Structures are given as C-alpha cells and as structure tokens.
Amino acid sequence: MMTSSYSNSPCAACKFLRRKCNQDCIFAPYFPPEEPKKFANVHKVFGASNVSKLLNEVLPHQREDTVNSLAYEAEARIKDPVYGCVGFISGLQRQLLGLQKELDATNADLIQFTIQGSSSLGLGHVDYSNGFYNYPSNFEQ
C-alpha cells in the first residue's frame, strides 16, 4: 500500500513547486492545498529547501509551530521588506517601556497617598478629561 499512488490533491508546497506529492511529503501536513499563500510566502522569504531542512532538524511534534512561526515571519517580511517582524519587536519594546514608566509614576503617586494622605497629593497630572483616570506619560510612539 505504501507504494501505491497517492490520490489526494497535492499539498500547497508540491502544487507550487510542480512536483508529485508523496505520502511522505514533509510539507503536506503543514501546507494544505487550501492555503496556497502560506507556502508561497515562506518560499519567497526562506526558500523551499531551507524550510524543508529546518523541518527535518526539529522534532515531528515541533513542526507545526515551526511552520507557523516561519509563515508569520514571512508574511511580516513581505508586508515590511525593511524591518519584517523585527519592526513588531521594536514597537512592543517601546510600548513596554512606556507602560513601565506609567506604572512607576502611578505607583509613586500611590505611595504619596499612602504616606501623606490624599490632602497633600498633587493630582495635577491626572487626566480626567475623557471620563477615565488616564495617566499621561512620556509614552514614546
């Protein structure tokens, strides 16, 4: 039975590469024919042979996560050829820094409140304008 022809439609990778999709195709479980873009993207950014090499290097149960992270990186690189998903990392790091500053400022105010009581707290920089208590910060965008 193993040598009989594989009658299902070829996976997205084999269709893209115009080759026969065998039962032992390394791509087939992760690149179903109904998601042609997923393979096209990783092929464009990493190359089919690099993807195949990587899939053979990781453990079988890690292959799905590997393909999904490659697909994510590839899509990001196609959308932003200069920074790819490294642009997301920079943005998240900036947001994290901004939020940490905001938390430090809020904690510092809370300490003031705890030590001195509400009467002596400078509430000048609390912004009530939109109905929420937003702490303005030096949030870098």
Contact 36, 17 (CB under 8 A): no
Query: With binding defined as CB under 8 A, does residue 40 bind a copy of itself?
Result: no
Query: With binding defined as CB under 8 A, does residue 84 bind a copy of itself?
Result: yes
| Nearby residues of 13 by Cβ (< 8 Å), 6 or more positions away | 21, 25, 27, 28, 31, 39, 43, 48
Query: With binding defined as CB under 8 A, does residue 109 bind a copy of itself?
Result: yes
Residue whose CB is less far from a copy of itself, 15 or 101 = 101
- Distance in angstroms (rounded) separating the CA atoms of residues 78 and 11: 22
The secondary structure element, H or E, covering residue 105 is helix 86-116
Tokens at 10, concatenated: 């070829």
Query: With binding defined as CB under 8 A, does residue 118 bind a copy of itself?
Result: yes
**Which span sits near a copy of itself by CB under 8 A: 4-12, 16-24, 26-34, 107-115?**
107-115
Q: Which of 75, 64, 10, 67 is nearest to 41 (CA)?
A: 75
Query: With binding defined as CB under 8 A, does residue 69 bind a copy of itself?
Result: yes
Query: Count of residues binding a copy of itself (CB under 8 A)?
Result: 47
Contact 69, 51 (CB under 8 A): no
**Which span sits near a copy of itself by CB under 8 A: 4-12, 21-29, 32-40, 53-61?**
53-61
User: Which residues form the interface with a copy of itself (CB under 8 A)?
Assistant: 44-47, 49-50, 54, 57-58, 62, 65-66, 69-70, 72-73, 77, 81-89, 92-93, 95-96, 99-100, 102-103, 106-107, 109-111, 113-114, 117-118, 123, 126, 133, 135
